Chain A
Amino acid sequence: MGLMNTSRMKSPWIIHVNCTACNGCDIEVVAALTPMFDVERFGIVNVGNPKHADVMVVTGCVNPKTARVLKNIYDQMPEPKLVLAIGACGGTGGIFAECYNVLGGPDKVIPVDAYVPGCPPRPEAIIDGAVAALGLFEAKAKAMKEKAKKAAEKAKAEA
């Protein structure tokens, strides 16, 4: 594990996206930022700007309106990035799964790396999920490098 990877794991900046959630999960996510749970001790900062974020914390299920927004925010985040889906809605659509306008969990639109089950999950579980997901950064960074290499080769071949 190099310096870069240690840094990545120690400084995950999150962006919190509320995507058709009932607000139950959101309150728990925000609770994790309070002095009681203080996620800043893991270097986690809620940045609210996709361009600065490393981890997207998405709550709730996806409907046709929010799908576009979610994809847009995801695309704005620079690689390597992780997606953490919170709650039963974040997994399958939860209690809203059968609604006529619900497509399902966020994984219908963007690749999700970790799920935190619960309705809503406790802040401890959310922190646990976030810290567990950080282990995936190394593989992500490798994939990013390979992608960049392939793109460069392709550009060379075309030229």
Chain B
Amino acid sequence: MIDNLIISLIAIVGAPIIGGLLFGIDRRITARLQNRFGPPILQPFYDFFKLLGKESIAVNQIQMMYVLSHLFFAIAALLMLVLRQDLLMLMFIFAFSTISLIIGAMSVRSPYSKIGAQREIMQMLAYEPVLLLMVFGVYKVTGSFMIQSILDYPMPLIYSLPLVFFAFLYVLTIKLRKSPFDFSTSHHGHQELIKGLTTEFSGTQLALIELTHWYDLMILLGLIALFFAQPLWVGILIALGAYFLEMVIDNICARVTWPWMIKATWLIGVGTALVNIIGLYLRP
């Protein structure tokens, strides 16, 4: 019991620190790839604290609640991960976190925010089936939804679920809202949707959304690591490698349109995951 408490505390405090640092390194590497010098590695933290100190301009009173639930559901999902709980439940809670943000963006009257929210819904439509198939594949292999059973399973999951892992890597780009799928909140400002989903959030609210993004990153990297556990350090290395791959993809891709994304994700993501799972059934 006390162990669990300590693990949870470490996760809640440590995850955003590592996540923020990773985003800082991301910005630095992106700058280097574009032949620029780039901001300091601590830049995300400077942004975060600066936003906390801004005057708060709330468009309506309910907005803050949605931002907070966006954050709390993400923390809950992280806790389920580190406490090795139910993977299926984790996915639902994780989805709830995104839905809170969507509702928050829908609660204002700015068209940019609304279009951003609609695009985010399209993104969810694209990646949720893949995530569910992944959970299903894990169940098929280990016979349980619990993350503990993945860790107890004698072989790393990647041997039985290589294509599911590929599909998960594919949706990782969508989940992180990176190019070519960065259309719900354009990664760089000054584009057709200003800042999409987050246009109407400012100051503290934006800081909390940023914080949630760090938690999200850690959850996703944790899920990647699960495929290679045990030993866990291999998983962590692979997760970091996957994140580096994301940075490169982010820099070499132009943005696609949402119909293209849905078609491609359902075809490639759901397709490969399904092939993998059907293969599991056919295996003697």
Contact = CB atoms under 8 A, between A and B. Distances in A.
B55 interface: yes
A66 to B, nearest CB: 19
Contacts of B198: 52
A10 B55 contact: no
Interface in A31-45: 35, 38, 40-43, 45
B46 A43 contact: yes
Interface in B29-50: 31, 34-40, 43, 45-50
Given A41-B39, A141-B53, A78 B203 contact: yes
Contacts of A65: none
Contacts of A148: 55
Interface string B188-230: 0111001100111111001000000000000000000000000
A3 B43 CA distance: 13
Given A48-B189, A52-B195, A4 B57 contact: no
A108 interface: no
B56 interface: yes
A11 B47 contact: yes
B142 to A, nearest CB: 44
Contacts of A7: 45-50, 53
Q: How many B residues are at the interface, by size bracket? A: 20 to 34
B31 A38 contact: yes
B195 A40 contact: no
B263 interface: no
A54 interface: yes
A3 B34 CA distance: 30
B52 interface: yes
B40 A43 contact: yes
B255 interface: no
Interface string B48-83: 111011111100000000000000000000000000
B43 A35 contact: no
Nearest to A34: B36
B177 to A, nearest CB: 16
Interface in A1-52: 3-4, 6-8, 10-11, 35, 38, 40-43, 45-49, 51-52
Interface of B: 27, 31, 34-40, 43, 45-50, 52-57, 189-191, 194-195, 198-203, 206
Interface of A: 3-4, 6-8, 10-11, 35, 38, 40-43, 45-49, 51-52, 54, 76, 78-80, 141, 144, 148
User: Which 3 residue pairs across A and B have the least CB separation, nearest first?
Assistant: A48-B190, A7-B49, A79-B55
